Amino acid sequence: MNTSVIIDNNTQNIEDIFIHLKKNATTIKKTSVKERIKKLEKLEHYILDHRDEIHEAIYKDLKKHPVEVDTSEVLTIVGLIRHTKKHLKSWMKPNKVSTPLSMLGTSSYVLHEPKGVCLIIAPWNYPFYLAISPLIYAIAAGNTVAIKPSELSEHTSLYIQKMISMLYSIDEVVVILGGVDVSTTLLKQKFNHIFFTGSSNVGKVVMKAAVNNLASVTLELGGKSPTVICKDADLKDASDKITWGKFLNAGQTCIAPDYALIHKSVEKEFVEQMTNTINEFYSPNGELIKASPDLCRIINKDHFNRLKGLLEDASEKGATIIMNGEMDEATKYMPPTLVTNVTNDMRLMQEEIFGPIYPIKSYDKIEEAFEIIEEKEKPLALYIFAKKKKTIKKVLQNTTAGGTCINETILHINNPDLPFGGINNSGIGKSHGKYGFVGFSNQRAVLKNRVGLTSVKPVYPPYGKLASKLTDFIIKYF
Ligand code: NAD
């Protein structure tokens, strides 16, 4: 169990903590598959045995329903742990590779060894899941780890610190609480790998800091994830899936459908359908949506006012706001809101929304949708709603994204055999499953000479005619 308590915003201890983690890294590196699985099992059992406490902490931060905490935080983590336990032995096995004829007499393999001391910096929106899921892979790969959860989700962050202190020693896994000061001090330490989840702007700060120590990075960032709704889409089905994906966590989800591009001929019907679905989900008996226990609140007043500002800007520029109820700043409640008559100059179409507002923009020709997507940064996710295979293929070929669901939203994050992450502005590197394990590992190339001789020996200096003939031969035939 951890013996020292890390006080909020105490940056003085950080250097010492790092030294402890570094000293212990060589021991942790040598841990076996069994030992690492045991560590993951401890985490799994603790989470399952303390679900109520996790529900309570996240409720205090986001007013999130326990079922939503289970589906989007607890079960996802437990699923990733179980998947890792099942596959860790094969991931850790030296990976034999083939030997080219020109290298006769040797054999080669790839060894996955831990990177060493790793830093995980997490955001507030899925405060438990996003701090703990990278930890699974950091542990599986045999690293020592420091975690810095978000200062904005303070109850969950405190809970994570308590949980980790019960499970691991301070020179193995440690949680350091605090804000930008603490993050900045941590980033000055010589971590071998930094796993950052957060905004693209802070991602750049992290990458710049990593350059000083040439630390490798995984950056899980944000951005605008479009939904392309084609004229042949099943509108009822699309409406169900988009309403769920958009208003989950009150839209504060990195892969939430950010805005819709819809064929003009079905726009009106879709907006009506989505308005109905919102009522079916959050007001099944005609009560005020605000009374629904199933909708989260906005994390703080700054974000609430940022969202309000996006709506004011859109309204001033001629948008139609379809708000299902009234906003309430005191309780940070923002109703599920659709916006139509959207133009590209609106902030809603330029900034990541990260809240329960869904702009819907129509197109005549699908190429217009491609143009809108293309002129923005590459998205973390892109969703396609269409029936025809040819249409789906066309959307896939004309766009790019970190991940895509076809006739679905969000769920690609739940398959641990799929890589999760963005591209450029929406992220660098991938996580989940084997990809997560590899992200926290150094893929060490090992070549072994089996017979003493190598086919390369004849080209050692002094370079004579034989060497020159041999290189000619190799260039020609291999
Ligand atoms: P954020 O970038 O403001 O903060 C993330 C973390 O970085 C926090 O722990 C914070 O303390 C720290 N931080 C903030 N400013 C810093 C600085 N100047 N230097 C060093 N550290 C700093 O992000 P957020 O508001 O917590 O989260 C929302 C963003 O995260 C959205 O853009 C969202 O899309 C993105 N996100 C991405 C994913 C993903 O998996 N790709 C998941 C969740 C959230």
DSSP string, 306-359: HHHHHHHHHHHTTPEEEESS--BTTTTB---EEEES--TTSGGGTS---SSEEE
- Mean pLDDT per block of 10 residues along the chain (478 residues) reads 45 88 97 98 98 98 96 97 98 95 89 98 98 98 98 97 97 96 97 98 98 97 97 98 98 98 98 97 93 95 98 98 92 97 97 98 98 98 98 98 98 97 98 98 94 73 87 83
Check residue 142 and give left, alpha or beta (phi > 0: left; psi -120 to 50: alpha).
left
Identify whether 220 is a catalytic site residue. yes
pLDDT of residue 470: 83
d(CA 277, CA 285): 13
The CA 450 to ligand 1 mean position distance, Å, reads 50
3-state helix, strand, coil in the chain (%, to 5): 50, 15, 35
d(CA 278, CA 301): 24
d(CA 273, CA 278): 9
- Nearest ligand 1 atom to alpha carbon 402: 41
d(CA 338, CA 321): 6
List, as one string, the DSSP characters of 377-435.
Answer: PPPSEEEEE-S-HHHHHHHHHH---SEEEES-SSGGGG-TTS-B---GGGEES-BSHHH
pLDDT of residue 12: 64
Identify whether 254 is a catalytic site residue. yes
pLDDT of residue 453: 63
Q: Are 434 and 423 in contact (CB under 8 A)?
A: no
Query: Could you say which of 118, 230, 254, 405 is catalytic?
Result: 254
Q: How many CB atoms lie within 10 A of CB 95?
A: 14
Judge if the beta carbon of residue 254 lies within 6 A of ligand 1.
yes
Out of 207, 254, 424, 425, mutate this one to test ligand 1's pocket (max ligand atoms within 8 Å of CB): namely 254
CATH class of the region 11-221+429-442: alpha beta
The CA 196 to ligand 1 mean position distance, Å, reads 8
Would you give the DSSP letter of residue 47?
H
Query: Could you say which of 44, 73, 172, 220 is catalytic?
Result: 220
Q: Are 432 and 409 in contact (CB under 8 A)?
A: no
The CA 150 to ligand 1 mean position distance, Å, reads 8
d(CA 67, CA 322): 28
Question: Which amino acid is residue 118, in one-letter code?
Answer: C
d(CA 10, CA 338): 43
d(CA 408, CA 387): 12
Residue with tokens 């969950």: 156
pLDDT of residue 39: 98
Judge if the beta carbon of residue 239 lies within 6 A of ligand 1.
no
**CATH 3.40.309.10 segments of the chain:** 226-419
Q: Report the interhelical angle of 180-188 vs 200-213 (nearest 10°).
A: 30
Report in angstroms the alpha-carbon separations of 112 from 22, 118, 228, 362, 438.
19, 16, 40, 49, 8
d(CA 194, CA 210): 8
- CB-based burial label for 362 (10 Å; 0-12, 13-18, 19+): buried
Q: Are 186 and 148 in contact (CB under 8 A)?
A: yes
CATH level 3 topology of 226-419:
Aldehyde Dehydrogenase; Chain A, domain 2 (3.40.309)
Judge if the beta carbon of residue 197 lies within 6 A of ligand 1.
yes
Judge if the beta carbon of residue 119 lies within 6 A of ligand 1.
no
Judge if the beta carbon of residue 355 lies within 6 A of ligand 1.
no
The CA 124 to ligand 1 mean position distance, Å, reads 7
Judge if the beta carbon of residue 94 lies within 6 A of ligand 1.
no
The CA 56 to ligand 1 mean position distance, Å, reads 23
- Contacts of 408 by beta carbon, 8 Å cutoff, 6+ apart: 241, 383
- CB-based burial label for 459 (10 Å; 0-12, 13-18, 19+): middle
Out of 62, 187, 202, mutate this one to test ligand 1's pocket (max ligand atoms within 8 Å of CB): namely 202
The CA 411 to ligand 1 mean position distance, Å, reads 22
**CATH 3.40.605.10 segments of the chain:** 11-221+429-442
